[in-house]
Amino acid sequence: MIGFNFRSTWAIYNRELMRALRTAFQSILAPVLTTSLYFIVFGAAIGSRMPDLGGVDYGAFIIPGLLLLTLLSESTSNASFGIYMPRFTGTIYELLSAPVGVAETLVGFVGAAATKSLILAAIILATATLFVDYSIAHPVLAIGYIMLVAASFSLFGFILGIWADSFEKLGIIPALFLIPLTFLGGTFYSIDMLPDPWRTIALFNPVVYLVNGLRWTFYGSSDINIWVSLGLTLGFLAICVATIAYIFKTGWRLRE
């Protein structure tokens, strides 16, 4: 039985991670600056005029939502671009012909994308302390949930990078679906504030469950039961893993 090839995994992981550092302004600094502007506008300017939500200051209330906004978009774009470029340049065939298994390839690409997102999450949380006073009720659970979301959407981005056959398609899912759904998913408000039927409609937005799951780990309360949020996130992760297993088994889009 052939074991896990750690050297191959590290080579892929290190290459992808170094690519992010070479483009640090676009990969790291730009998302942090954008999130800082959200804190200034919504947390400081608007937040001072907003009442507490569930006993949480408005500026602190939006932190989990802003964190998810960055995590979802960056995890997806990092992983999708990472696997799309070898397909675009043709170097994917060298990878497919090398003695590198599916697990090694997946851990290398997805692990690097998730690591970039976790670095961003840490920087954003540190930046938030400059604008807002906040504390995390369940820090271990918060770290675990952030890692779970980063891994899930890095896997999703990997699938997107294999599906896309142009740079336009590479950006269409984050731009037209992920970001709008995140803004409508309770990033800046509690869905309990919505009148019917909009509150019911909001429950069909999957990002609502992600935002509220992370918000619970921060403040111990949310609009959605934490176990529902956790279950749906794990279900999404399982679907992504199964889809990638099918892609590598059939060679769909990889050998075309």
AA identity, residue 160: L
User: 217 pLDDT exceeds 80?
Assistant: yes
**What is the share, in percent, of the chain residues with pLDDT greater than 70?**
95
Of 226, 203, 206, 205, give the one whose Cα is nearest residue 215: 226
Taking each helix axis from N to C terminus, what angle separates 226-250 and 139-163, rounded to the nearest 10 degrees?
30
Mean pLDDT, the chain, integer: 87
Which residues pair with residue 82 across a beta bridge? none
| pLDDT tens by residue, 173-215 | 888 888 889 888 888 888 988 888 889 999 999 999 999 999 9
Each domain of the chain, given as residue ranges in start order, spans 6-250
CA dihedral of residues 211, 216, 221, 225 (deg, nearest 10)? 70
Q: Which of 29-38, 195-204, 229-238 has the lowest mean pLDDT?
A: 29-38
Element of type H or E holding 66: helix 63-89
End-to-end CA distance of the chain: 29
Q: What pLDDT score does 1 carry?
A: 40
- Three-state DSSP class for 56? strand
Q: What is the pTM of this model?
A: 0.89
Q: How confident is the model at residue 256 (pLDDT cuts 50, 70, 90)?
A: low
Position with higher pLDDT, 54 vs 224:
224
* Mean pLDDT (whole number) for 106-131: 90
AA identity, residue 122: A
Q: How far apart are CA 25 and CA 101, in angstroms?
A: 33
* Mean pLDDT (whole number) for 217-228: 92
Tokens for 75, please give them: 């995890």
AA identity, residue 17: L
Instruction: Please enumerate in sequence order all residues whose Cβ is within 8 A of that of 110, keeping only pairs 6 or more positions apart, or say none.
Output: 79, 151, 154, 155, 158
| pLDDT tens by residue, 135-151 | 899 999 999 999 999 99
